[in-house]
Structure 1
Amino acid sequence: MGQRSERAQRALLDSAEELYARHGIDAVSNRKITEHAGASNHSAVTYHFGGRDELIKALLRRQLAEMESRRAELVAGLAADAGLWDLVACRILPLVEQLAALPVPSWRARFLHQVHGVSAVAPLMNSAFDDSETLAEVRRRVLPHVEGVPEKVLQARSGILGHMVLGLCAEYEAQVEAGTQEGDWISVGYFLIDAVTGMLVAPVTRRGGRVAPASSHNLI
């Protein structure tokens, strides 16, 4: 792939991430994305990516690629008997560190939150992350720490927590843009690690009855 084509793809990805974050997935056409990117060819999204879903997958893969090396570093540094908090940190810290490194304004957290909220495209998030070996390793090591929680309850909690993490990050990203934030991204990360760890192992006071459905993007 030539440098010109790479620049064109990067411009389209950046344009899509911003417009999806600001307006929502279904409100943004491929033509709007190409116009915002400054492309003269209104079929540029189709030419470079094949369609909207493929464009969203490319955005998600870009994010994962940027986080994967950091997560691998954290996982490699874990003790053999690492606790749940440290394992959850491997899941959360690469995300907030990536968000902290983006220029202001950034759109990534709000884009992820938009994808998570649209049932037609939310499964793309899981499919983009399914090939991550480090995430698979974190999930495997988390399970013994939550073995007392019924599987359906754990799945539902994981879905709720995925929504919480993305929602809080999206809200904080908007505050950073407005200049009204308190603390910093790393503080947000540690707050989320504490909250996720606590909820995963919270007591199950009633076994049976209705359990909220799991989100399409589970945290573990």
Structure 2
Amino acid sequence: MTRNEQVAATREALLRAAERLFAERGVHAVAHRQISEAAGQGNNAAVSYHFGTKADLVRAIAHRHAESIERNRQRMLDTEGEFTDLRGWVAFAVRPVTEHLDSLGTPSWYGRFIAQTTGDPALRALTSEASSAASPLMGRLTEGLNRCLPDLPAEVHAERAAMTRHLITCMVAERERALADDEPTARTSWRTTADGLIDAITALWQALATTGA
């Protein structure tokens, strides 16, 4: 291997090890030394050398997956065109994520990694920043939902967008965990998991909005 190939292989091993440990134990419970050991690196400073801080490592993991999900979104738009109904835009939010999880095989850790990071305000800001940088098409999603629900108050729209993110995150993490532990799942595939999420989230956006203090 060339020097560049060795560096790339080491970075990949560290990313995969960190993602798994963060998903299984939580970000704050994992030290750089443990990541280096899990990646087969004898140098305990490998994480700092290749990525810097733990925050930089979290950002790198989130960005890598966000890029793949964004490619799925672009393919969906290229295939189906601009959506004209609410269910289409909800599918645009859901299917690129479940298709990415499907492509990772079993076991995977991305769903549980995101569930861990979104539970912490500081880490949520990091992953949101990394995902936003790699996901310009998310702006199209917001615009599409606004067009389908023009009378929905802005504060309710923001609230339901947050509910949508949490529902997708929690459900994909739960399915990923069950698959890794060889436990029964509610749905037989990632595609049908997406179907169930789209049903529920579409109904969520259509629910009567009660506003006021």
TM-score normalised over the length of structure 2: 0.92
Partners in 2 of 1:195 and 1:99 — Cα distance? 19
> What is the count of residue pairs matched by the alignment?
208
| Conserved 8 A contact 1:21-1:107 | yes
Task: Choose the corresponding residue for 1:207, options 201, 204, 211.
Answer: 211
Specify the SS of the correspondent of 1:104: coil
Partners in 1 of 2:75 and 2:176 — Cα distance? 25
Q: Is residue 173 from structure 1 mapped to residue 176 from structure 2 by the alignment?
A: yes
Quote the residue 2:156 is aligned against. Answer: 153
Specify the SS of the correspondent of 1:137: helix
Identity %: 29
Distance change >3 Å, CA 33–CA 80, structure 1 → 2? closer
Quote the residue 1:85 is aligned against. Answer: 87
Quote the residue 1:135 is aligned against. Answer: 138
| Conserved 8 A contact 1:78-1:86 | no
| Conserved 8 A contact 2:111-2:169 | yes
Segment of structure 1 superposing worse, 88-97 or 177-186: 177-186
Distance change >3 Å, CA 38–CA 142, structure 1 → 2? same
Structure 1, gaps ≥5 residues long: 210-220
User: Alignment RMSD, CA only?
Assistant: 1.5
Partners in 2 of 1:146 and 1:43 — Cα distance? 51
1:65-111 CA-to-partner distances (Å, cap 9, x unmatched) read 11222210112334456211111211211111111122321111111
Partners in 2 of 1:3 and 1:80 — Cα distance? 40
1:100-153 CA-to-partner distances (Å, cap 9, x unmatched) read 122321111111100111122111122112232222222222211122221112
Structure 2, gaps ≥5 residues long: none
- More helix per residue: 1 or 2? 2
Distance change >3 Å, CA 61–CA 80, structure 1 → 2? closer
Runs of 4+, deviation exceeding 3 Å: 77-81
Report matched runs for 1:34-73 at 5 Å.
Answer: 34-73=36-75
1:183-203 CA-to-partner distances (Å, cap 9, x unmatched) read 111111111112112212211
Partners in 2 of 1:43 and 1:147 — Cα distance? 53
Segment of structure 1 superposing worse, 126-135 or 111-120: 126-135
TM-score normalised over the length of structure 1: 0.89
| Conserved 8 A contact 1:75-1:138 | no
| Conserved 8 A contact 1:25-1:118 | no
Partners in 2 of 1:103 and 1:144 — Cα distance? 36
Task: Choose the corresponding residue for 1:183, options 183, 188, 193.
Answer: 188
Partners in 1 of 2:131 and 2:32 — Cα distance? 24
